[in-house]
Amino acid sequence: MQHQRYLAKKNEILLAHCEAVGRDSSLIMRSVQIESTADQDPAEVAENAAALFEVGVDQVILTLRAPYRAERVAALAKSLEAIGS
């Protein structure tokens, strides 16, 4: 995915700058916000989040789009738990 390549490149730049000035890059939190549409497959959302973690993102903030349904939130939670294992 294009976003992952973009973030991977940005992370490489950050790592190089940290090394140049002697800063511990692990002390910098890398976060990104992604959105999930009402009709998006929860497994796809989890795969996108997992791919972001693989390129150095520490935290993914998930924005849900209306309509908000409890069963959708439960399905997302289940899919996201699977990538944390």
Per-domain boundaries in the chain: 2-83
pLDDT at 85 over 60: no
| Average of per-residue pLDDT across 35-52 | 92
Closest CA to 81 of 33, 44, 46, 35: 46
- pLDDT for the residue 1: 62
Residue-level pLDDT at 66: 86
In this predicted structure, what is the pLDDT of residue 83? 87
Q: Give the model confidence (pLDDT) of 20-37 as tens digits.
A: 999 999 999 999 999 999
Q: What is the pLDDT of residue 79?
A: 92
